[in-house]
Amino acid sequence: MKIKLKIWRQRDSRSKGEFKEYHLDDVSKDMSFLEMLDTLNIKLIKQGDLPVEFDHDCREGICGQCGVMINGIAHGPLKNTTTCQLHMRSFNDGDTIHVEPFKAAAFPIVRDLKVNRSAFDNIISSGGYVSVDTGQAPEANSIPVTFEEAESAFDAAACIGCGACVASCKNSSAALFTSAKISHLARLPQGDKETSTRVVNMVNQMEEEGFGYCTNTEACQVECPENISVLNIARMNYEYNKAKVLAKK
């Protein structure tokens, strides 16, 4: 396959970026999108140019590290797929592919296609955990959890934190990411105890990081690699409103 690439090149967060054009003549349709970028980088290094920087880790679709806008869509044309699980067979010979980093005020560009997603870590550390004493593992059956509860909690916990929801959202809202963690823990007896403080802290942190508000366009679920349900956002709103209405101070 012959591919024409228009890739966003930007030195650092403060400089101005622009699309640069590259040509690859020997792309296999079995390559993953990241392998195609590797091929380009090898070519660039051999020419003495700076390689295109992009985030990646497991390349198995489970770590949430990779993620770029491909032809204007987060993680590219396939729905519910990470960038590393997208293969060149999804494109045609002679195609022009636009590659841009995720863009949001809360995701400053580090370089080229690499963005800083620390804002997500800050949201998690503001409440995305269960406060328990560590020590011996407790007896597994001392807190009963039904199969259905466990499964629905796990559906929310499947979020890999890639940031495609923010990138796909016209408001750059992190509601899907934040709500996935809130509703994951609210569905389990261990986590539910702290729901009201957790939801208020995490929502406040989300706003502090500079993410926008959710207006329920539901674009996030469509592009989410894990197909995290937008109903988690409804759960977050419910828990937030409940916490605010029942607030004791």
Partner 1 sequence: MAITGLFLSFFLIIHLLGNLQLLLPAEEAQLQYNSYSHFLGGNILVKLVAYVLYLCIILHSLDAIYLAYRRKKANGVSYSYDRRGRASTWYSRNMTALGIIIFVFLVIHFKDFWYHYKFGDLPTDVNGNKDLYTLVVVAFEQLWYVILYIIAILALGYHLLHGVFSAHRTIGLYHPMYNKVIRVLGVVFAVAITIGYIIIPLFLYINFQS
Question: Site residues (CB under 8 A) for partner 1?
Answer: 6, 8, 19, 69, 71-74, 79, 98, 100, 103-106, 167-168, 170-173, 183, 210-220, 222-223, 230-235, 237-242
Among residues 175, 232, 184, which one has the least CA distance to residue 209? Answer: 175
Phi first, then psi, for residue 189 (nearest 5°) are: -60, -35
Min separation Cβ 45 and partner 1, Å: 26
Among residues 75, 132, 205, 171, which one has the least CA distance to residue 236? Answer: 205
Long-range contacts of the stretch 62-66 (C-beta < 8 A, 24+): 62/160, 63/160, 64/159, 64/160, 64/161, 64/162, 64/163, 64/225, 65/162, 66/34, 66/162
Min separation Cβ 79 and partner 1, Å: 8
Min separation Cβ 73 and partner 1, Å: 5
Of 65 and 173, which has the nearer Cβ to partner 1?
173
Of 48 and 72, which has the nearer Cβ to partner 1?
72
Min separation Cβ 170 and partner 1, Å: 5
CA 27, distance to chain mean position in Å, is 27
Of 100 and 226, which has the nearer Cβ to partner 1?
100
Of 126 and 229, which has the nearer Cβ to partner 1?
229
Among residues 32, 141, 145, 166, which one has the least CA distance to residue 91? Answer: 32
Min separation Cβ 30 and partner 1, Å: 25
Of 226 and 239, which has the nearer Cβ to partner 1?
239
